[in-house]
């Protein structure tokens, strides 16, 4: 048996895990893609609006065959995700204004719900599919010249159709830092006014242009709580496809203790002991979040001491 802390570190954050072999070399092989997309092995992840199809109890992602999704497939807009369980996997976008399809095969659910229910490999797959489908929907036009853009590389990039421009557009991921700040036997959690009652979480915010991750950690913590942070240690990361963030998790040490809510983003912030974190108050972040994993990890470190 691994020590508990090691087990925690080696488990996956929900939505993460390289369960899809992204097969980058195949994205540009249009012959291979065309053949794969009509093969018996091909599996399709339907994304209706922002939701993914599941069935069963406990739920599993419904991966459909080509014959089941034919009416929704546009060959020019296929999104190749990679090989999943050694089978070519594609995402299929279905407009949210269309009636809910595949009622006989399951129901469409939001990703936050699915993150808590699906096996880790399926959570990884549907998050990947949903992120790319939403990215395509938001990138119909070139941001430089305003011409239309079209998918290429098996739906893993787009290109402006204006030959004078021809800009290549790649899916973006927005880095955000999320940090558990500690000071000896206490850690710092805050809450926003629109959260469920008594729920507290770690400090988080997007990385700004020109910042390192450590800079962003120190700035966010200071802006939100007036706490100064010394050492900043990386923990793990989590794709957070709502729609395209990458949460970069840290545990940092505070050099000051006096809290002041500088920027109004939080309605409260407090220092909590491990004992408090395992009591009725505060309520901890949702289990699928990296915030919860950072908190759980820190609690575990106390048990080992
Ligand atoms: Zn252009």
Reply yes or no: is the peptide bond before residue 243 cis, omega within 30 of 0: yes
Q: Which 8-state DSSP code applies to residue 72?
A: G
Cα diameter, the chain: 64
| Beta-carbon count within 10 A of 210 CB | 6
Give pLDDT, residue 179. Answer: 98
Give CA angle at 242 (7, 126), nearest 5°: 65
Residue 122: name the closest of 40, 220, 53, 202 by CA. 53
Burial per residue of 132-168, b for 16 or more beta-carbon CB atoms within 10 angstroms, e otherwise:
bbbbbeebeebeeeebebebbbbbbbbbbeeeeeeee
The alpha carbon of 167 and the centre of ligand 1 are apart by a number of angstroms equal to 5
The alpha carbon of 169 and the centre of ligand 1 are apart by a number of angstroms equal to 10
Residue 48: exposure state from Cβ atoms within 10 A (0-12, 13-18, ≥19) = buried
The alpha carbon of 17 and the centre of ligand 1 are apart by a number of angstroms equal to 34
User: Starting from the edge strand earliest in sequence, which strands make up the sheet with 157-160, in order?
Assistant: 149-152, 157-160, 168-169
C-alpha 135 chain-centroid distance: 13
The alpha carbon of 138 and the centre of ligand 1 are apart by a number of angstroms equal to 15
Q: Determine contact, residues 229/182, Cβ cutoff 8 Å.
A: no
Q: Helices (H) and strands (E) in the chain — how many of each?
A: 8, 16
Give pLDDT, residue 5. Answer: 42
DSSP structure string for 121-179: HHHHHHHHHHHHHHHHHH-SB-TTT--BEEEETTTTEEEES-TTT--EE----EEEEEE
Give pLDDT, residue 159. Answer: 98
The alpha carbon of 161 and the centre of ligand 1 are apart by a number of angstroms equal to 7
CA distance 28 to 9: 36
| Beta-carbon count within 10 A of 68 CB | 17
First CA to last CA across the chain, in angstroms?
A: 18
Give pLDDT, residue 124. Answer: 95
The alpha carbon of 148 and the centre of ligand 1 are apart by a number of angstroms equal to 8
The alpha carbon of 172 and the centre of ligand 1 are apart by a number of angstroms equal to 17
Give pLDDT, residue 98. Answer: 95
The alpha carbon of 293 and the centre of ligand 1 are apart by a number of angstroms equal to 42
- The alpha-carbon radius of gyration of the chain (Å, integer) is 22
Give pLDDT, residue 71. Answer: 95
The alpha carbon of 133 and the centre of ligand 1 are apart by a number of angstroms equal to 21
Half-sphere exposure of 67 (CA within 13 A, CB side): 2
| Beta-carbon count within 10 A of 202 CB | 27
The alpha carbon of 164 and the centre of ligand 1 are apart by a number of angstroms equal to 8
DSSP-derived 3-state class of residue 302: helix
The alpha carbon of 173 and the centre of ligand 1 are apart by a number of angstroms equal to 21
* pLDDT by 10s per residue, the chain, length 305: 444 444 444 567 999 999 999 999 999 999 999 999 999 999 999 999 999 999 999 999 999 999 999 999 998 898 999 999 999 999 999 999 999 999 999 999 999 889 989 999 999 999 999 999 999 999 999 999 999 999 999 999 999 999 999 999 999 999 999 999 999 999 999 999 999 999 999 999 999 999 999 999 999 999 999 999 999 999 999 999 888 999 999 999 999 999 999 988 999 999 999 999 999 999 999 989 999 999 999 999 987 65
Residue 138: name the closest of 27, 44, 26, 50 by CA. 50
Give pLDDT, residue 10. Answer: 53
The alpha carbon of 140 and the centre of ligand 1 are apart by a number of angstroms equal to 11
Kindly give, in sequence order, each residue whose CB lies less than 8 Å from that of residue 214, ignoring residues fewer than 6 positions away.
232
């Amino acid at each position: 048996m691994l020590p508990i802390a090691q087990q925690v570190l080696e488990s996956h954050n929900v939505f993460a895990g390289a369960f899809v072999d992204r097969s980058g070399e195949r994205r540009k092989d249009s012959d291979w893609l065309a053949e794969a997309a009509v093969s018996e092995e091909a599996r399709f992840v339907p994304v209706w609006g922002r939701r993914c199809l599941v069935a069963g109890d406990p739920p599993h992602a419904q991966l459909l065959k080509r014959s089941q999704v034919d009416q929704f497939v546009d060959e020019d807009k296929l999104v190749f995700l990679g090989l999943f369980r050694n089978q070519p996997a594609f995402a299929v976008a279905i407009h949210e204004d269309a009636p809910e399809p595949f009622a006989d095969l399951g129901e469409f659910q939001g990703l936050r719900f699915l993150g808590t229910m699906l096996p880790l490999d399926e959570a990884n797959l549907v998050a990947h599919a949903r992120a790319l489908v939403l990215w395509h929907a938001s990138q119909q036009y070139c941001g430089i010249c305003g011409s239309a853009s079209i998918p290429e590389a098996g739906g893993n990039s787009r290109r402006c159709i204006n030959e004078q421009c021809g800009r290549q557009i790649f899916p973006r991921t927005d880095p955000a830092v999320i940090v558990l700040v500690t000071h000896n036997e206490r850690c710092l959690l805050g809450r926003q006014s629109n959260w469920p009652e008594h729920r507290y979480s770690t400090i988080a915010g997007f990385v700004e242009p020109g910042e390192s991750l450590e800079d962003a950690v120190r700035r966010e913590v200071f802006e939100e709580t007036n706490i100064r942070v010394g050492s900043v240690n990386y923990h793990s990361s989590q794709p957070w496809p709502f729609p395209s963030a990458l949460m970069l998790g840290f545990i940092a040490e505070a050099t000051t203790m006096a809290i002041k809510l500088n920027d109004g983003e939080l309605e409260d912030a407090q220092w909590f002991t491990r004992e408090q974190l395992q009591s009725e108050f505060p309520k901890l972040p949702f289990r699928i979040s990296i915030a919860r994993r950072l908190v759980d990890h820190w609690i575990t470190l106390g048990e080992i001491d």
